[in-house]
């Protein structure tokens, strides 16, 4: 979005004066789903669309929040920055992030005016919430000179989601939004936060995101239920093996010990996580060695595991993946994000992209009654000041 348009909107909302602008991206996860809160590996990359935040420090004893995307503005006193607003209020995302600064001992003696504008499709599973949290963290850190490093800002943004949005998410989304680099994906160990920036060089191949327009809602309870089920699997395995999370057990170890998990549903949840972690490490190795066909096969296997063992896909995501896989020139396709609606990510040869968008769009509408949207993704930079 153009700077002049954003600044004009800010001035119309809050009046004349200097304005600073920040941006943090949405993300797409190439492989490694529902492994982050289990201490496993993920492989996301930042996108070129995301969330802009314009800010002006004031002498007022409150922060004001407005958005160009969502109706409703809020004014929050400096003495109430650590208190959530009513559930469902979008301001909880930036407010929850500011609350993390307060909890770290940052004292705000004056407030600021904030305007949000995002171009991450809401409910598409591309982490619009993480982009909002991270851009807030980056802006507050810069404007109030708190000197906190980007990894810590990502962790603070994650806590905001836990405490103010009620979603027990892992670190992946916020980490990718904060730490992403252009034309690189992030191979992240979510247990240690050790990471490697891996070049994504796809000659003659595009990353295509398919938005089902069946919005997901991670605070619906199903996401948190999966978190609890994974913990139940760890509790069942602990008498047999010393692990803190499912990221601490190999596929072979799990295969020999899975019988101790008496609940069949919990066993399947754990099987997805353990095998998905292995698929992710294998996929990164395949990308590094130039074996893109193997990478695509692992993407396909990831979706199938999410469909049958983790049960987070649903009719719309499964329909889109089924139709995409029928197109010649598709190397691999899977759901991306938390699931229960949202988006798919596919590796597609250049010559097949237009055919995929047209053909799958028609077939998907025929089968679901929903109009899909497709984006040819570009890999962008993590949270930063833009003006």
Neighbours of 156 (CB within 10 A): 26
CA–CA separation, 286 vs 282, rounded Å?
6
Question: What are the tokens at 131?
Answer: 């982009």
Strands of the sheet with 195-199, listed across from one edge: 41-42, 184-189, 195-199
| Active-site residue, 4 included | no
The answer to whether the Cα torsion of 283, 288, 292, 294 is positive or negative is negative
DSSP 133: H
CA–CA separation, 39 vs 285, rounded Å?
19
Q: Of these residues, 4, 36, 79, 173, which one is catalytic?
A: 173
**302 Ramachandran zone, left/alpha/beta (phi>0; psi -120 to 50):** alpha
Give the gyration radius of the chain's Cα atoms: 21
CA–CA separation, 170 vs 331, rounded Å?
28
List, by residue number, the catalytic residues: 173
């Amino acid at each position: 979005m153009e700077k002049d348009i954003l600044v004009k909107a800010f001035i119309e909302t809050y009046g004349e004066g200097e304005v600073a602008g920040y941006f943090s991206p949405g993300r797409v996860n190439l492989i490694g789903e529902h492994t982050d809160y289990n201490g496993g590996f993920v492989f996301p990359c930042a996108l070129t669309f995301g969330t802009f935040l314009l800010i002006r420090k004031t002498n007022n004893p409150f922060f004001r929040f407005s958005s160009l995307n969502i109706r409703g503005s809020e004014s929050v006193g400096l003495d109430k920055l650590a208190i959530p607003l009513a559930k469902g209020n979008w301001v909880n995302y930036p407010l929850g992030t500011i609350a993390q600064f307060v909890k770290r001992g940052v004292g705000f003696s004056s407030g600021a005016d904030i305007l949000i504008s995002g171009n991450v499709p809401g409910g598409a599973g591309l982490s619009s919430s993480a982009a909002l949290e991270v851009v807030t963290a980056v802006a507050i850190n810069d404007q109030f000179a708190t000197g906190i490093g980007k990894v810590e800002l990502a962790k603070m943004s994650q806590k905001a989601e836990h405490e103010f949005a009620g979603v027990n998410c892992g670190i992946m989304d916020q980490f990718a939004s904060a730490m992403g680099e252009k034309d690189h994906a992030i191979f992240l160990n979510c247990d240690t936060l050790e990471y490697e920036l891996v070049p994504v060089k796809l000659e003659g191949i595009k990353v295509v995101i398919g938005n089902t327009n069946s919005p997901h809602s991670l605070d619906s309870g199903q996401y948190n239920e999966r978190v609890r089920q994974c913990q139940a699997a760890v509790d069942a395995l602990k008498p047999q093996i010393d692990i803190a999370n499912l990221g601490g057990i190999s596929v072979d170890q799990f295969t020999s010990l899975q019988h101790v998990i008496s609940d069949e549903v919990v066993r399947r949840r754990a099987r997805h996580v353990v095998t998905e972690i292995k698929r992710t490490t294998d996929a990164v190795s395949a990308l590094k060695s130039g074996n893109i066909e193997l990478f695509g096969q692992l993407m396909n296997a990831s979706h199938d595991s999410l469909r049958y063992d983790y049960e987070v896909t649903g009719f719309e995501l499964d329909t889109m993946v089924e139709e995409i896989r029928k197109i010649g020139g598709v190397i691999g396709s899977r759901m991306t994000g938390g699931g229960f609606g949202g988006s798919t990510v596919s590796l597609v040869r250049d010559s097949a992209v237009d055919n995929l968008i047209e053909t799958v769009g028609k077939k998907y509408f025929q089968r679901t009654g929903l109009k899909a949207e497709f984006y040819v993704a570009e890999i962008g930079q993590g949270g930063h000041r833009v003006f």
